[in-house]
Amino acid sequence: MILSDREIKKYIDSGNLKIDGMENPDVQIQPSGVDLRLGNEFRVFKVISVPYIDPKHPIENYTELIRIEDNQPFVIHPGEFVLASVKEYIKIPDELVGLIDGRSSLGRLGISVHTTSAGINPGWEGILALEVANIGKMPIALYPGMRVAKLTLAKLTSPPERPYGKRGDEKYHKQEGSEESKIFKDFRWK
């Protein structure tokens, strides 16, 4: 069951769902989700002098963190892929799962927001990282604070036995922005 705006407001009012930092809840809370705003941090990928990326090992100096002021544009070029963050701090309760999608208005410009891994586990909290790509033909300016993604929430049939924040193998729990990949940690838990 996907939560409607009424249910989302009830969850927020009760404190079970946390979406801190919403600038305008009347605009951001949509009929079946919550619009999230683009944050000020971007991780830009660099070409580095290794023959390939090995997911078994941490990657050093592969990204550069860039911070943009609210009124300044971040220009993403055709074919470019960056990590970005949202402004809101989110805490998903154990009985809900979140799904993140890009907004259609940006998709029509060629901006793909959150290219993979759209699911947000029950019990997760932090500032979401977004996987942003420009698949269009022209550079596009993105502005911190603009509505960039939609968070849809669905109720599980029952709470999970081990929510995300209580598993012990979490890589991005309580993250504070767009962090680099920690896939190398998967190999430690085999």
Q: What percent of the chain has pLDDT over 90?
A: 68
**Which residues make beta-bridge pairs with 66?**
42
Domain containing 159 — which CATH number? 2.70.40.10
Strand pairing report for 147-155 and 33-45 = antiparallel
Positive or negative CA dihedral for 173, 176, 179, 184? negative
Number of separate domains in the chain: 1
Give per-residue pLDDT as tens, 38-53: 999 999 988 777 888 8
Q: Which residue of the set 41, 88, 131, 179 is catalytic?
A: 131
Q: What domain range includes position 129?
A: 5-189
Cα–Cα distance measured from residue 146 to residue 150, given in angstroms and rounded to the nearest whole number: 12
88 is catalytic: no
pLDDT above 70 for 59: yes
pLDDT, residue 113, reads 92
Structure tokens at 34: 């919550």
- Assess contact for 34 and 150: CB atoms under 8 A: yes
pLDDT, residue 46, reads 84
Cα–Cα distance measured from residue 38 to residue 40, given in angstroms and rounded to the nearest whole number: 7
pTM: 0.87
